[in-house]
Amino acid sequence: MGSLRTLAASKVSPARLGLLSTKDGLVETPAFVAVATNAALKAVDLRDVPGVDMIFANTFHLLLHPGVDVVSKAGGLKPFMNAGDGRIIMTDSGGFQVFSLKHGTVHGELTQTQTQTQTHTASLKMKSVKAKRPDRYGSSDVRVGEEGVTFRSYRDGVRELLTPEGSVSAQKALNGSIIMPLDELPPYHVTDQALRESLDRTHRWMKRSLDRHLLEPKGQLMFGIVHGGSDKALRKASVDAIRAMPFDGYAIGGALGRDRSELYEIVGWVMDECGMWAASRAEDKPVHLLGIADPWSVRRLVQLGVDTFDSCYLTKISRHGTVLTGAPADPGRINIASGRWKGTVGGTMGEVTGCECSTCTQYSVGYLHHLKKAHEVVVDRLLSVHNLEFMARTMRWIRREIRRGTL
């Protein structure tokens, strides 16, 4: 029996309602996983967002500070960050951040202009771009070999080696519920030969990661990660390779296209033609999508059969003054810093957003506009609370519609 029990299956798509079992508790899926990079949601106290059931911490950053030994002495991430008994913590391998140093600044999952939102275009996670603020030690300091990847710490310049075994050992110390094997993440634009070599190395690294994990399971689940870029044959080969190893679940990673259309196409291949949907159902294993989760994409991705999603998108747009609005079935957004809100008095933000979170019921649009224009940091917290609760409400709506058989 796998870690995900199907409670209901959609009659109109591959979507399913599930119950994910971990050593730290249960969570209903489909589920959104909020990114807490440094063991904290940006500008938000976890107690302010009770609807966030799952969080994702970044091994790379925690390795460099405070160090996994510090977290381990505290009893692991849950007590260290006071995450609460009911939350599930996922940790990554650290590979994404290391390869971000090599390939340049990694843009957010989605661009943040209103036009791009309306046309459903996206700048997805491993699209290589010129860094706006390059790492001070230079991308040439990231070197990939069979043993692992070496890099210089962005904190003190000390050269570090990240191996599959070392990454898993770090995640054991962090003691999350779900962990990831070390993988290599080439950029979107890479030669066919380089992509094949990277994929083969990633499969070898994941086998080493899994072997280390199985020496000390600690009740943690490990998800195998499917790579292959936008090459359907390589994606199929990766699904087959991951299925041949005893992972507890699956994750879809790597370059996922230039826009939402390509994202849906690639995930569709993986789930359907490459066999992941059938495998996950037959084996009762969850499918996680790495690095993509916004209200416009999640609904379609759930309909392709994906169970969980992680992203920093919600807190990131909050810090730029973006507020999600409307119903989950038809989300919109506004910019709270826009001049249209200047001088607005009376009422609450909930009258604009249709939301009943603590921010929307207690503060007016005019006041939040003032805070943003005055650069008061409290506004980042207030908007993040709203956007995270909006996403939690969206996931509840999605689960309800699956149960009704309409999604």
CA-nearest of 76, 81, 82, 83 to 53 is 83
CA distance 203 to 275: 18
The answer to whether 208 and 164 are in contact (CB under 8 A) is yes
Catalytic residue list contains 310: yes
Look at the alpha carbons of 327, 331, 332, 334 in this order and tell me if their dihedral is positive or negative.
Answer: positive
The answer to whether 229 and 255 are in contact (CB under 8 A) is yes
What's the CA dihedral at 131, 128, 155, 253 to 10 degrees?
150
Cα first-last separation, the chain: 26
Give the contacts of 400 (CB within 8 A, at least 6 positions apart).
Answer: none
DSSP state string for 115-135: HHHHTT----TT-B---SS--
CA-nearest of 279, 215, 273 to 250 is 279
Burial of 258 (0-12, 13-18, 19+ CB in 10 A): middle
Look at the alpha carbons of 297, 298, 299, 301 in this order and tell me if their dihedral is positive or negative.
Answer: positive
Q: Which of 24, 92, 248, 294 is catalytic?
A: 92
Place of tokens 């030690």: 137
Catalytic residue list contains 272: no
- Give yes or no for a cis peptide into 66 (omega within 30° of 0): yes
Q: Which of 183, 307, 310, 380 is catalytic?
A: 310
Catalytic positions, please?
92, 310
